[in-house]
Amino acid sequence: MDKGMEGATVRNIAEEAGLSLGALRHYFSTQDDLLVYAMTLVTERATDRIEAVVKRNLPPKEMVLAVLYEIVPLNEEKRAEMQVWFAFVAHVSHRKNELPIPDDGIWKGVQKLIYYLNQISLLKPELDLELETERLYSLIDGIAIHALLEPERLDAERVRKTIHYHIDLICIQA
């Protein structure tokens, strides 16, 4: 939407989508309802992609990388989702107690990946799991933001290489 978050009203979105205001208001009576729906949709789409990766029965390290690649903006679809997510979070973060803002699930997902690597003995044994979870979470979150803000410098190939490099550093050579 060209009008920013302030322009993301039910009326403006109905107009841009070529729908009547009444048709859209049938589903979203307020801007908040529409925003929460959009945030939930972004989360569900990413979750569906991640679940599809896990079902592919890839080798463990390859699966972990593939899951992480689904979280960061490596293509236009994921870039658009990430832009929507960050814009909505920034717009509604001061209203967390009022709105049912969905959790993006990234922290829990990263935590599961670290514990999975440890459980199958691919993670270097001397590592602190809590710190490694925080470090990987920070890497993914930061690289996502910078890939959005500086896509020329941090293109999809560089994002993949950076994540792969980090996973190689924390895993034993198998």
Structure confidence by residue, pLDDT tens digits, 131-142? 999 999 999 999
* pTM of the shown model: 0.81
**Residue 58 pairs with which residues in a beta bridge?**
none
Domains and CATH numbers, the chain: 44-170 (1.10.357.10)
pLDDT of residue 89: 77
3-state helix, strand, coil in the chain (%, to 5): 70, 0, 25
> Are the C-beta atoms of residues 146 and 82 closer than 8 Å to each other?
no
Residue 147 neighbours by CB distance under 10 Å: 22
- What does the pLDDT average to over 149-153? 93
Q: What are phi and psi of 67, to 5 degrees?
A: -65, -45
Measuring CA to CA, which residue among 76, 18, 72 is closest to residue 46?
72
Structure confidence by residue, pLDDT tens digits, 4-40? 555 555 566 556 556 555 665 666 777 777 777 777 8
